[in-house]
Chains A and B, each alone.
Chain A
Amino acid sequence: MEIRKLNFKKNSVRALGDKTLQQALHYTTERFTSARERAKREFGELDNLREKAREIKRRTIENLDDYLEILEENVCKAGGKVYWAEDAKGAVDTVLDIARKNRVKLVVKSKSMATEEIELNRAIEGEGIDVVETDLGEYIIQLANERPSHIIAPAIHKTKDEIARLFSEKLKIPYYKEPELLVGAIRERLRATFLRADMGVTGVNFAVAETGTIIIVENEGNARFVTTVPRVHVAIMGIEKVIPSFKDAAVFLSILARSATGQKMSSYVSFITGPRRNGEIDGPEQFHLIIMDNGRTRVLGSEETRETLYCIRCGACLNACPVYRKAGGHSYGWVYSGPIGAILTPQLIGMDRALELPFASTLCGACREVCPVKINIPKILIGLRRRAVENGFHKNVKEHLAMRIWRFVVSHTGVYDILTSLLYVLQHPFKSDGKLRSLPLFSQWTRYRDLPVLKIPFRKRWKRLTVNRGPRG
């Protein structure tokens, strides 16, 4: 993994200048948001279930080690194999190991944020093995050599035209203007690929501890192909994906699709318990489950931010977020974007690399309002800001100084009065038309907005109000 500092601000300014991207962001987030709202209206239970879902996650995360052990036991009982990966490298090595042992030449993948996180494709290709993403959006960004820009719709930043061109350039598929024709042609290609593949790699939406079943939710049917046709199936999950029982799964399945796309249920929900059994006609010969930490136990260790791990990756917070809607996913610099990215990324890859992210929010709370597991994202953002300041990551000298001065001034009424009176006088030369149109030290404000002028403060007018019993009163 590249150790680079993410540069949110620079990226976001670039994104703001990209008209096509702005349109795409507007269109997609509006569409998802209104679909979710409709689903919420039609299904009155959503809020109750959110509370339930949160409680299940809380209980599970508090007893994570127990549930993971139960999961391991039951996956093994069903004939699968379980591996524990401490970090990205461990997970990648395990996949490569399994691939080598089985003389794999072609890997097909379904959409998975965990494999994005560990940059699995690059590693597989480095081994001389072909790998093909089979979710359309993921396929697009694989060909374009980019990162997903939305958790559930990875290629929303691309236009139809760009996509058609990409496929004709990289795969020699004829350039189709009509999306249906293009998708038809891609599907044909993918079918052939599925039949040749020796290994399928997937993520995991939920892993049911009591039965050792992994659940995969999707809309294109590609994940079902990936998990049934190739000889070997490798599934990769973060430790937080385990849930205790099937009953719990019912709760999550009722809220996941509704929160993500507004669907009642995704088109395909696969329940996979171990490899093909005797007498069954399809399914892989081997089933491997990699359970990955990659920084998650660090999150688990902090009571303040632990609930970050409740996330079920529905993407609703992205659609609701005013900042994401303008900055787009790539501005966040790593695989996870939007509000969940702003809290997860610094915790997984380190505050030093992702310092800007917790600050890149207006704290409007729209994310929390839509989150199916009610993660208190604004609170975690503030907590991470505090961590950044108190642990010395936030080194902006000017801001530290400004805070010190501000604290001193507002703590001493005399100083406060003198300073505000002084500024009241000093602002005169800058006034125009009763406003401040540009002001040194405040240029970041006045670049875009006028600033009101300082008035005689209320605290000095109060006496008069007491005597006269108020103006207009």
Chain B
Amino acid sequence: MEIIRKGPYIMESKKAYLFVTCLVDNFFPQVAESAVCVLRRLGIEVEFVEGQTCCGQPAFNSGFWQDARTVAKRFLSVFDREKDGFIVCPSGSCASMVRIFYRELFEEGDKEYGSAVNISKRVYEFSEYIVNVLKETDVGAFYKGRVAYHGSCHLIRELGIREEPIRLIRSVRGIDFVEMKNYDVCCGFGGTFSVKFPELSAAIVEDKIQSIVESGADTLVSTDMGCLMHIGGIISRRNLPIRVMHIAELLASR
């Protein structure tokens, strides 16, 4: 798969349009608030494009491309109102949907193709944006805790972003970063997989839980709330003394 990694795009880099994702918007609004806070701290003018809902990934991954296309078209029309500027997204998974899979959903010759290509170049995952575009690793955060990092599949293997979040986490003051075994192995969430094959999904996450516990961390950080909802759902069910946290929340704390 082609991984589009361009050098800092010629765009007005002081402005970022937030693509909050439907999951964060409805279940974890504090993640988006934290992202706003961190970006503002870095001197970025954050904009929120009204009318955004979902990028269409659930339907795309489930094979319902017709439905995915309808929703994606809407996404494109919402974000295409501004022709320029970074679109920043607190999810590696949703960012890869727009950056990589929109180009499969729409073919050359489709009316939306040009817009899909344009937007795919503008969209950045949150940590990628800070490290690779803004060239910052220290955002002035402070956090007291032993922190382990779970690398989400789409972030690592679709977007090719491995080191960026780790560099950000390591730069947080007061932090005790612990390496976690198999940090880059799937947690078993897999979107609709988690409800279509709940037994397997729950069995896969067991290994992740074990790695977290073995690492001795009291906080688990990741870039994707899908994974964290899944892993955190188990942690919560068992009352394990581990806090799950989006990287934006970690970076916002001081």
Measured CB to CB, the residues of A under 8 A from B are 9, 12-13, 16, 322-323, 325-327, 358-366, 368-369, 376, 379, 382, 384-390, 394, 399, 403-404, 406-407, 410-411, 413, 416, 420, 435, 437, 442, 444-445, 447-459, 461-462, 465, 469-473
Across-interface contacts of A323 in B (CB, < 8 A): 197, 200, 204
Across-interface contacts of A365 in B (CB, < 8 A): 153-154, 156-158
Q: Is the CB of A459 within 8 A of B195?
A: no
Q: Is the CB of B26 within 8 A of A420?
A: yes
Evaluate whether A411 and B158 lie within 8 angstroms (CB atoms) in the complex, with A390-B65, A455-B29, A461-B29 already known. Answer: no
What is the distance, in angstroms, from B109's C-beta to the closest C-beta of chain A? 16
A406 and B188 CA atoms in complex are apart in Å by: 23
Q: Tell which of B52, B197, B232, B233 touches A9, judged by Cβ atoms closer than 8 Å.
A: B197
Evaluate whether A472 and B204 lie within 8 angstroms (CB atoms) in the complex, with A365-B157, A386-B63, A390-B63 already known. Answer: no
Q: B2-23 vs A: 1/0 string, CB under 8 Å?
A: 0000000000000000001010
Nearest neighbor of B32 in chain A, beta-carbon distance: A458
A459 and B62 CA atoms in complex are apart in Å by: 27
- The answer to the question of B254 belonging to the interface, with a C-beta cut-off of 8 Å to chain A, is yes
Stretch among B36-44, B80-88, B129-137, B167-175 lining the A interface: B36-44
Nearest neighbor of B199 in chain A, beta-carbon distance: A13
Across-interface contacts of B29 in A (CB, < 8 A): 455-458, 461
Q: Is the CB of A389 within 8 A of B188?
A: no
Q: Is the CB of A451 within 8 A of B233?
A: yes
Q: At the interface, is chain B mostly helix, strand, loop or mixed?
A: helix
Q: Is the CB of B157 within 8 A of A368?
A: yes
A438 and B48 CA atoms in complex are apart in Å by: 34
- The answer to the question of B33 belonging to the interface, with a C-beta cut-off of 8 Å to chain A, is yes
Across-interface contacts of A450 in B (CB, < 8 A): 232-233, 236-237
What is the distance, in angstroms, from A365's C-beta to the closest C-beta of chain B? 3
Q: Tell which of A12, A384, A457 touches B199, judged by Cβ atoms closer than 8 Å.
A: A12
Count, chain B residues at interface, CB 8 A: 70
Evaluate whether A360 and B236 lie within 8 angstroms (CB atoms) in the complex, with A365-B153, A386-B65 already known. Answer: no
- The answer to the question of B229 belonging to the interface, with a C-beta cut-off of 8 Å to chain A, is yes
Q: Is the CB of A457 within 8 A of B71?
A: no
What is the distance, in angstroms, from B197's C-beta to the closest C-beta of chain A? 6
A420 and B158 CA atoms in complex are apart in Å by: 31
Across-interface contacts of B111 in A (CB, < 8 A): none
Across-interface contacts of A473 in B (CB, < 8 A): 36-37, 40-41
Give the residues from 23 to 66 in chain B that come closer than 8 angstroms, CB to CB, to chain A: 24-30, 32-34, 36-37, 40-41, 48, 50-54, 58-66
Q: Is the CB of A407 within 8 A of B153?
A: no
What are 6 pairs between A and B in contact, CB < 8 Å?
A325-B204, A363-B61, A366-B157, A448-B237, A459-B25, A459-B52
- The answer to the question of B186 belonging to the interface, with a C-beta cut-off of 8 Å to chain A, is yes
Q: Is the CB of B65 within 8 A of A413?
A: no
- The answer to the question of B230 belonging to the interface, with a C-beta cut-off of 8 Å to chain A, is yes
A366 and B204 CA atoms in complex are apart in Å by: 14
Q: Is the CB of B63 within 8 A of A16?
A: no
Nearest neighbor of B156 in chain A, beta-carbon distance: A365
Q: Tell which of B20, B34, B64, B207 touches A389, judged by Cβ atoms closer than 8 Å.
A: B64
Q: Is the CB of A404 within 8 A of B200?
A: no
A420 and B23 CA atoms in complex are apart in Å by: 12
- The answer to the question of B234 belonging to the interface, with a C-beta cut-off of 8 Å to chain A, is yes
Best-surrounded residue of B64, B157, B229 (most CB of chain A within 10 A): B64
Q: Is the CB of B36 within 8 A of A452?
A: no
